[in-house]
Amino acid sequence: MAIIRYSEKKVLVIEDQAAMCSQLKSMLEILGMQYIDIATSGEQAIQKLKLQSYDIVLADYELGRGKDGQQVLEEARHTKLLKSAAIFVLVTASQSVEMVMGALEYSPDGYIAKPLTIEDLKTRLDRILKTKLIYHEIDTAIDLNNIDTAIKACDKLIVDRPKFALATFRIKGQLLMNAHRLDEAEELYETVLEIRKVTWALLGMAKVMYYQSRYDEGQNILNRLSTSNEKYVEAFDWLAKIFEAQGETLKAQKALQRAVELSPRAILRQQHLSKMAEINNDWYIATQASRRSVELGKNSCHKTPKSYLRLATSLQPQLKDNAVGNKQNAITEVFKTLSDLKKEFNSNQDVQVRANLLEGDSYKNLGKHEEAKHSTSQALSCYDGLVEDPSPDLALEMGKGMVKNHDLEEAMKFINDPKQQAMFDNNTNEYLKEVVTKANQESVQANIDTFNNKGVELFEKGRLEDAIAMFEQATTHEAASLSIVLNTVQAYVTLMQKSGPTEESVLKCSTHLTRLEKIPVDDSRYQRYQKLKNMFEELEHLL
């Protein structure tokens, strides 16, 4: 039986409570450990892991402010700060489902529950370390990034230690997947499944199907897996990947919603859900998922500006909402989110451009057009200050932002600039031209509507000459509707009834009536047109 030489082990204890830290250190010293390092926060632990290689990491789950034990584990695994041969054990007083499911996402080597005794600690560490010794040759090859050697070591262990064959097959399968040796991985999983229908092998087979674009086969496996074992959260993740690859974004969203119900602390899953919900215009779910992504990301290595941008985007519909309470809360959250984004990623000019553009959209949705224009100008200033050439995606966003929230003349200058033209393909150029044309039309229509509405208001107050001036402004545009032209004729007729016809009023009214001749007989406005025409002809004879 292997003997654990604790005196040779380098240990990192991550604990923010002084008393518990002292207790753990004393227990480890009794076990014979001589090299014991202490970190009192998650951030300090990461720094120590960057500087030193440890054999054992004991981390409290709750670490006060900053990274918790799960997030230290998450980053250590993601950035390979922890050797494959090392062990990471969570020490926790909490046994909540959310904590356990969240921690399992990043595969700790074990848990030790508080309060703990030295016997508990020794028993658990002995068991974990003795198991690790069995895989030492494999772990060493993995740490040296020698995948072929690691796979050969797996094959040797399967023959030499049949008791550990199943667990070793699992390691080998993952190594083959990482090396993208999919045919070999599929053969391995088939072999395992002939022996026993274990969930990890079923999931592995489904992953192979996904990477080989055999989506229906993979979906069948995952459906069976999720039905038979609802708490196997990864099955829902891969179902979502398959649905997304097939363009079934609603189904992908539903699968991810089920997954976050089971394990809400997985930040990458929340980010994926917010992306799917945004694509589906499900702003309620998008807001929930992106809000949780921002919250979880504060101390995570997976923090990304996309979470902030998606949160601010998902709140935009509420900025137009008439429910004042919701609207005010949304306004506060949008601008705080964008402010936090700018601070958190203040050295990232790409992010600054996108944040200012979204700020411009927010102001526009609130009807604050000057503020929208100012934020878009800020975005343009950041864009012009980019050290490297912008991505085509960012150039397109900048172009769209200019069209939506800036002067159209300035927008056209930006879009037609040869430097920007070089960023766009033909489809993008055509798209932006269509956006400009549409924006121009919307701008013209907005002016027409403004003049018409003001004219109606003045007409109702009896200020006929002022009303006519407004209607004339509206009808200057060819896009003015026949209803607006009818309003103009009615104002002239009413003025002539009150003050008598003049050559000017008759000429102008006659011109507008000519535009109305195109109204079809079956149009609901035709009767009004005929009535006004008859009234005008009677007044015309009085001149």
Among all chains, which residue has been given the structure tokens 């039905």?
Answer: 227
CA-to-CA dists, residue 189 to 46, 171, 198, 203, 206, angstroms? 36, 11, 10, 9, 10
- Angle (deg, nearest 10), helices 233-245 and 249-262: 170
- Angle (deg, nearest 10), helices 482-499 and 503-515: 160
Q: Which pLDDT score is estimated for 164?
A: 94
Q: Which pLDDT score is estimated for 419?
A: 83
CA dist., res. 121 & res. 125, Å (int)? 6
Cα Rg of the chain, angstroms: 34
Torsion of CA 341, 342, 346, 347, to 10 degrees: 80
Q: Which pLDDT score is estimated for 433?
A: 74
Among all chains, which residue has been given the structure tokens 């518990």?
Answer: 20
pLDDT tens for the chain, 543 residues long, are 567 888 999 999 999 999 999 999 999 999 999 999 999 999 999 999 999 999 999 999 888 888 988 899 999 988 999 999 899 998 887 666 565 565 566 678 888 888 888 998 999 999 999 999 999 999 999 999 999 999 999 999 999 999 999 999 999 999 999 999 999 999 999 999 998 989 999 999 999 999 999 999 999 999 999 887 666 889 999 999 999 999 999 999 999 999 999 889 899 999 999 999 999 999 999 999 999 999 999 999 999 999 999 999 999 999 987 665 678 899 999 999 999 999 999 999 999 999 999 999 999 999 898 999 999 999 999 999 998 888 888 988 998 898 888 877 888 888 888 888 887 777 777 777 777 777 777 777 878 888 999 999 999 999 999 999 999 999 988 888 999 999 999 999 999 999 999 999 999 999 999 999 989 999 989 999 999 999 999 988 887
CA dist., res. 50 & res. 300, Å (int)? 16
Report whether the peptide linkage leading into residue 115 is cis, meaning its omega lies within 30 degrees of zero: yes
Q: Domains, the chain, ranges and CATH?
A: 6-134 (3.40.50.2300), 441-540 (1.25.40)
CA dist., res. 240 & res. 254, Å (int)? 8
Q: Which pLDDT score is estimated for 323?
A: 60
Q: Write out the DSSP string of 39-67.
A: ESSHHHHHHHHHH---SEEEEES--SSS-
Q: Which pLDDT score is estimated for 243?
A: 98
Residue 166, both tokens: 């199943």
What is the phi/psi pair of residue 272, to 5°? -65, -40
Q: Which pLDDT score is estimated for 324?
A: 55
H or E element, residue 245: helix 233-245
CA dist., res. 8 & res. 199, Å (int)? 37
- Long-range Cβ contacts of 93-96 (<8 Å, 24+ apart): 93/61, 93/62, 94/61, 94/62
Provide the CB-side half-sphere exposure for 532 (13 A, CA): 26
Order of strands, sheet of 87-92, starting from the edge strand that comes earlier in the sequence: 35-39, 10-14, 56-60, 87-92, 110-113
